[in-house]
Amino acid sequence: MRNTISVDIEDWFQVGAFETVIDRNDWDDMELRVERNSDAVLALFARHNIKATFFILGWVAERVPKLIRRIVDAGHEIASHGYAHDRVFTFTVQQFAQDLKKSRAILEDISGVRVSGYRAPSFSIDPRTPWAHEILAEHGYEYSSSVAPIKHDHYGWPDAPRFAYEPLSDSDFLEIPVTTAQLGPKRLAAGGGGFFRLLPYAFSHWAIKQVNQDAGQPAIIYFHPWEIDPKQPRVESAPLKSKLRHYSRLSVMENKLDRLIGDFEWERMDAMVAREKSNRKHMKSAA
Does residue 147 register a pLDDT over 90? yes
pLDDT value at position 170?
A: 93
Instruction: Please name which of 93, 122, 96 lies closest in space to residue 16, comparing C-alpha atoms.
Output: 122
CB atoms within 10 A of CB 180: 25
Percent of the chain exceeding pLDDT 90 equals: 91
Amino acid 276: pLDDT? 95
CA distance 76 to 167: 26
Q: Which tens digit of pLDDT belongs to each residue from 81-115?
A: 999 999 999 999 999 999 999 999 999 999 999 99
**Contact call for residues 111 and 70 (beta carbons, < 8 A):** no
Spatial contact of 51 and 45, defined as CB atoms under 8 Å apart: yes
Q: Taking each helix axis from N to C terminus, what angle separates 65-73 and 93-111, rounded to the nearest 10 degrees? A: 70
pLDDT digits (tens, 9 = 90+) for 235-265: 999 999 999 999 999 999 999 999 999 999 9
Determine the longest span between alpha carbons in the chain, in angstroms: 59
Average pLDDT over residues 104-130: 97
Q: Give, in order, the Cα–Cα distances in Å from 160 to each of 19, 86, 179, 209.
A: 27, 22, 12, 21
Mean pLDDT across 267-278: 97
Task: Encode pLDDT of 204-239 as tens digits.
Answer: 999 999 999 999 999 999 999 999 999 999 999 999
197 touches 253 (CB < 8 A): yes
In the structure, what pLDDT confidence band is assigned to residue 36 with cuts at 50, 70 and 90? very high
Residues 2-9: what's their mean pLDDT?
98
Binning pLDDT at 50, 70 and 90, where does residue 30 land? very high
Assess whether pLDDT exceeds 90 at residue 32. yes
DSSP assignment, residue 233? P
Average of pLDDT values for 34-60?
98
Integer Cα distance of 132 and 143 in angstroms: 12
Q: Give the Cβ contact number of residue 83 at 10 Å.
A: 23
pLDDT tens by residue, 180-207: 999 999 999 999 999 999 999 999 999 9
Check residue 156 and give its pLDDT.
Answer: 86
pLDDT at 26: 97
- Judged against a pLDDT cut of 90, whether residue 287 lies above it is answered with no
Centre a 10 Å sphere on the Cβ of residue 92 and count the other Cβ atoms it contains: 9
19 φ/ψ angles, rounded to the nearest 5 degrees = -70, -20
